[in-house]
Amino acid sequence: MKKILSNAILLLCTLSIIVNCSKDDGPSSEALPSITAFTPKSGTVGTEVTITGKNFSTITSENVVKFGNVTAIVTQASETELKTSVPDGASTSKISVTVNGNATTSTDSFIVNAPINLELNKSSLELHTSDAEQLTVSGAGENQVTWSSDNEDVAIVDESGNVKAVGAGTANITVSVNESQASAEITVEPSVFVTVNHYKTTDYTASIWTNGSITELTDGSSNAYANSMDIYKGDVFISGSELDKESENYIAKYWKNGEVNNLTDNSSDTRLSSVKVYDDDIYAVGYGTDENAYTAKLWKNGNVQDLSDGINTNLALDLVINNGNAFIAGYESTDNKSIAKIWVNDVPHLLTDGTNYARATSIFVTGDYIYATGYDNNIATLWKSGTPTPLTEEGSMSFAYSVFVDGTDVYVGGSEYGEEGKYIAKIWKNGVPIDLTDGTFNAKVNSVFVYNGDIYAVGYENTIVNDEEINVAKLWVNGTPTILAGTDYSTYAVSVVVK
């Protein structure tokens, strides 16, 4: 009996060991990968695809992704998301993911589209600064395209393929869909821009001359004047004013690519002298009447700031923007005299003491130096950071209206009264005079600009037409004159920019 009981106990122990061993040696419940979605649903070879799901490996190499039977490279991995690209040789098929030998397959197939072959309507464009032309693309189908420029100092492009020439040079405009691209080479030649006012009706008409073509900004029904200008991202900004005949006040305005923008209404007489654009902000200076006198004014994006108190007449005549700071040239009239002055933002700095009649007409900032030009006691004068240098001898009658600095060379444009009793159009280079006219008729340089070593100057020279002496707008390039708007009526040029 004892032997039977012992055998029974031994049998139970053996069964218990077998059961426990069976539990220890059985398969583990390893988490299996699964795909819940992928995006996009279709694309060409090279299209990036994001696979979402669970139980992926965080180590990219431990996830084997296939489009059908073609293996793709995993570029990013987390437990719930994989990133890959459609591999070469793939065709429309389901996507599978294998992790540690455990595979899962998508419910839907990824549609592999035929390769996109993009073509532009032109492989190259030759433009001048401020020109615009549209490129069109074929082969993109319903895919969204992306446009880009590799040199936005030369040419820019918008989302519709409209190309704008910004400055001289070369650029490549590229249109892209995924990995497919097409490009066009853009060559931009510099443009010469000149503001011209002409008197062909009973009033002056504001206009702009560009590479030989005149575009009128006003209709000639009332006096209007175009003054200085700025070229920014291929857009042409021109300062000026136009008479409102009802109030007999001038309205300060600027034109952007020919479209007018009024800065004032007709409630006061206001003139705009200069406009500049910096970091997409539009700055302008001019002057307007208050109760007692003209007040110098500075505008930024249409908001005006008075630069003087209105007790004495102050005129702001020229403007440059340097590192976001406004440098302004002008003058203040007092007791039948005038004081040449500049403003840095709204802070005035006197260049003369009021003893003589003096004006600052133009300003240029480069490096640590502020150059201003104008005249003091009827002598053309250049101020360098406040220190004056007369450009002609005492006793002469000379006037300076423009300054431009190119490297170490300083150019000043103006006029000097000649021996024949007429004003001679002049440029001073580093103080040395260069005569542009011979003194037969009155002439004047209003603006000077240097580009690639060439000296551009604009203004006018009088001539006789039908027994009447009239102004004739001229452009001089290295001393060679060009008549800008014919000789049928009086014209004069105010400002020149080459870009």
Nearest to 420 by CA among 444, 395, 438: 438
In a domain, 214, yes or no: yes
Q: What's the pLDDT band for 29 if we cut at 50, 70, 90?
A: low
In a domain, 162, yes or no: yes
Domain total of the chain = 3
C-alpha–C-alpha distance, residues 378 and 279, integer Å:
38
318 shares a domain with 253: yes
The two beta strands, 124-128 and 180-189, are parallel
93 shares a domain with 143: no
362 shares a domain with 298: yes
C-alpha–C-alpha distance, residues 61 and 48, integer Å:
17
Q: Which of 61, 77, 112 is the last residue of a domain?
A: 112
Contact assessment for residue 208 and residue 214, using Cβ atoms and an 8 Å cutoff: yes
Task: Kindly state the tokens that stand for 391.
Answer: 């450009």
In a domain, 7, yes or no: no
In a domain, 72, yes or no: yes
Contact assessment for residue 205 and residue 150, using Cβ atoms and an 8 Å cutoff: no
C-alpha–C-alpha distance, residues 410 and 414, integer Å:
13
297 shares a domain with 241: yes
Mean pLDDT of 339-354: 98
Asked if pLDDT for residue 469 goes beyond 80, the answer is yes
Condensed to tens digits (0 to 9), the pLDDT of residues 266-310 reads 999 999 999 999 999 999 999 999 878 999 999 999 999 999 999
Task: Kindly state the tokens that stand for 171.
Answer: 């650029």
200 shares a domain with 106: no
Put the strands of the sheet holding 132-134 in their side by side order. Answer: 132-134, 162-165, 155-157
Asked if pLDDT for residue 16 goes beyond 80, the answer is no
Task: Look up the CATH number of the domain holding residue 102.
Answer: 2.60.40.10
Condensed to tens digits (0 to 9), the pLDDT of residues 375-414 reads 999 999 999 999 999 999 988 999 999 999 999 999 999 9
In a domain, 3, yes or no: no
380 shares a domain with 346: yes
209 shares a domain with 142: no
In a domain, 12, yes or no: no
Contact assessment for residue 370 and residue 363, using Cβ atoms and an 8 Å cutoff: yes
End-to-end CA separation in angstroms for the chain: 119
Range of the domain at 84: 34-112
In a domain, 1, yes or no: no
254 shares a domain with 203: yes
Element containing residue 176 per DSSP (H, E): strand 169-177
Element containing residue 228 per DSSP (H, E): strand 224-232
Q: How many CB atoms sit inside 10 A of residue 54's CB?
A: 14
Mean pLDDT of 250-271: 98
Mind giving me the DSSP string for 345-375?
TTEEEESS-SSSBEEEEEEEEETTEEEEEEE
Percentages of the chain per state (helix, strand, coil), in multiples of 5: 5, 60, 35
Task: Kindly state the tokens that stand for 46.
Answer: 């090279």
Which of 8-17, 45-54, 333-342, 486-495 comes out lowest in average pLDDT?
8-17
Q: Which of 84, 112, 140 is the last residue of a domain?
A: 112
On average, the pLDDT of the chain sits at: 93
What is the model's pTM? 0.82
44 shares a domain with 95: yes
346 shares a domain with 484: yes
In a domain, 459, yes or no: yes
